[in-house]
Amino acid sequence: MSVPQRPPAPGHIALVGAGPGDAELLTLKAARLLAEADVVVYDALVSSDVLALASPQAELIDVGKRPGQSIAQDLINVLLVRLARTGRRVVRLKGGDPFVFGRGGEEAVALAAEGIACEIVPGITSAVAAPAAAGIPVTHRSLAAMFTVVTGHRQHGETPVNWAALAQAGGTIVVLMGVAERGVIADALMAGGMAPDTPVAAIRRATTADQVVGRCRVDQLAVMTVESPATLVIGAVAALNVCELVSGAAYAVG
């Protein structure tokens, strides 16, 4: 007589934001879940300092998307489902905030479709942390009453960014994943009416000891030397550096 097999446990995954790079900018919940995790599935933008907070016994699985090395999102979704059903404590670790261009929403939907619970742990997005680390407030009463966060990376068939509308809207524009297309972006913004002398800042490895900040005008952005990944800040506030205004004291985010 055969014994009926029980269905596998539905499982559970924590979808965790790793912040912009500095491990001290993690939330307390994120740090606790990392320390308790049996498996950590992490992206390319997660810093080594953040990964170091994971349990020494945890299995670390790199699914980061890099130039010439990309794992399809569908395969990542399948991996997460399989790991959750093992009954182990799984942390899906994403740079910045999982729901700000991190495909966290897609993964949460894929898990829900399989009946798997997903705990969402927000992180500090580089859209605000990178400018802050460079001394740039994304809003300023005299300069910018709003800021827009937009991706510079669009693929065929995806909704294009209306750069002309952003040029007319005013305020601050923060571009994530836009380094490769920076010349196209600059041309589109100027074609939409943005002044060629609009300040631009590019922040790479924000909040870490390797942080690099470059500044130029929007009409110089195409030829500006900047490596990916970096956060682009476009607007009047990009000319500011409040760090330099702090007399006799070091200033740092966090």
Residues designated as active site: 43, 65, 177
4 Cβ contact list (under 8 Å, min separation 6): none
Are the C-beta atoms of 173 and 143 separated by less than 8 Å?
no
Using DSSP's 3-state secondary structure scheme, residue 18 falls into: coil
Place of tokens 């809003």: 139
State the Cα–Cα distance between residues 43 and 40, nearest whole angstrom: 10
87 Cβ contact list (under 8 Å, min separation 6): 9, 11
Place of tokens 């049996």: 38
Residue count (the chain): 254
CA-based angle 183:184:190, to the nearest 5? 90
